[in-house]
Amino acid sequence: MSRLAVRKTYKLFIGGAFPRSESGRSYPVTSPKGDFLANASRASRKDARDAVVAARKAFPGWSGATAYNRGQILYRVAEMLEGRRAQFAEELGTGRKAALEAVDASVDRLVWYAGWSDKIASVRGTANPVAGPYFNLSSPEPTGVVAVVAPADPLLGLISVVAPVIVTGNTCVVIASEPSPLAAITLAEVLATSDLPGGVVNVLTGRQEELAPWLAAHMDVNGLDLTGVKDTDLALRCEQSAAENLKRVLRPASPDWAADPGLTRMTRFLETKTVWHPQGT
């Protein structure tokens, strides 16, 4: 007799915990062939606000951690992800070879970003020779809480938008890909076991159209990454809402996730701080 498998309940990831949506709602997720896979939580406006609170709460600790420490933790995420290679490959449901390639590329991307933690300031900071007896130094600092609408690519795309936001010290609220959110929740399990402080990454599953506008208008969100928004009207509305508290916005795009990511995804959510100090005896 074959054994009946125990299925996983896919919930949200907020503040390091895995709650169901406070709304009690869910939505069915199917494989590319249309088979039922699981019910994902359908997050509400309240869940989104809870996630922002959690992200804000995590910000001082995470942005105040040493860059070395943040790099070590991102590298640890890569290690944990590598360990779940087979699970992800199965969950991606895209055919084994392509899925394994996607997982490998995701691990490598995490490693790439892990290394940036203590290097971005060397590349983006400057010593400024002002015309006077002053020490003058500019260095990058994280923007704060960033809301991220993840692209359809369920793992590589997701990691490619989350890692650059957090490696520099931001915290984030991510809306997972609506049709394929399962990898995002499994990734949350990886994050939860990688020494990443709770609240640094918060994952919502549900309707993009329902959640994105609230985050775009949220006054305690400092940055907005609209990469995953395909609906140009929704993207425009979100960007207009973001103007209210002058969120830093990354416009929707269709990036090639296999290409060198460059620095833009990090620098868009960095501020530059310049310190002046007089010199004299």
Partner 1 sequence: MAMFKDAPAFEYAPAPESRDIVDLSPSYGLFIDGEFVDGSAASFKTVNPATEEKLADIAGASSDDVDRAVQAARKAFGGWSALPGSERAKYLFRVARLIQERARELAVLETLDNGKPIRESRDVDLPLVAAHFFYYAGWADKLGHAGFGADPRPLGVAGQVIPWNFPLLMLAWKIAPALACGNTVVLKPAETTPLTALLFAEICVQAGLPPGVVNIVTGAGETGAALVAHPDVNKVAFTGSTEVGRLIARTVAGTDKKLTLELGGKAANIVFEDAAIDQAVEGIVNGIFFNQGHVCCAGSRLLVQESIQDELLTALKRRLGTLRLGDPLDKNTDIGAINSAEQLAKIRALSEIGEQEGAERWSPACELPGKGYWFPPTLFTGVALSHRIAREEIFGPVLSVLTFRTPAEAVEKANNTPYGLSAGIWTEKGSRILWMADRLRAGVVWANTFNRFDPASPFGGYKESGYGREGGLLGLEAYLDV
Residues that bind partner 1 (CB under 8 A): 67-68, 71-72, 75, 108, 111-112, 114-119, 122-123, 133, 135, 263, 277-281
93 or 142: whose CB is closer to partner 1? Answer: 142
Q: Rounded to the nearest whole angstrom, what is the least distance from the CB of residue 267 to partner 1 in the complex?
A: 11
Q: Rounded to the nearest whole angstrom, what is the least distance from the CB of residue 273 to partner 1 in the complex?
A: 17
Q: Rounded to the nearest whole angstrom, what is the least distance from the CB of residue 65 to partner 1 in the complex?
A: 14
82 or 210: whose CB is closer to partner 1? Answer: 82
Angle at 210 between CA 173 and CA 19, to 5 degrees: 50
71 or 140: whose CB is closer to partner 1? Answer: 71
Q: Rounded to the nearest whole angstrom, what is the least distance from the CB of residue 139 to partner 1 in the complex?
A: 12
Strand runs (DSSP E) across 117-247, as ranges? 126-127, 134-142, 145-149, 171-175, 201-204, 223-225
Q: Rounded to the nearest whole angstrom, what is the least distance from the CB of residue 194 to partner 1 in the complex?
A: 14
**Host H or E run for residue 271:** strand 270-278
**Which 3 state secondary structure label does DSSP give 273?**
strand
68 or 128: whose CB is closer to partner 1? Answer: 68
42 or 70: whose CB is closer to partner 1? Answer: 70
For 217, residues 6+ apart whose C-beta sits below 8 A from its C-beta are 241, 242, 244
Reference 147, options 222, 205, 210, 43; nearest CA is: 222
Three-class HEC string of 3-59 = CCCCCCCECCEECCECCCCCCCCEEEEECCCCCEEEEEECCCHHHHHHHHHHHHHHH
78 or 217: whose CB is closer to partner 1? Answer: 78
Tally of CA atoms within 13 A in the half-sphere of 194 that contains its CB: 27
Strand partners, 17: 14
**Which 3 state secondary structure label does DSSP give 259?**
coil
For 96, residues 6+ apart whose C-beta sits below 8 A from its C-beta are 89
6 or 131: whose CB is closer to partner 1? Answer: 131
Written as one letter, the residue type at 24 is G
Q: Rounded to the nearest whole angstrom, what is the least distance from the CB of residue 278 to partner 1 in the complex?
A: 5
Q: Rounded to the nearest whole angstrom, what is the least distance from the CB of residue 243 to partner 1 in the complex?
A: 31
Handedness of CA 207, 161, 249, 137 (dihedral sign): positive
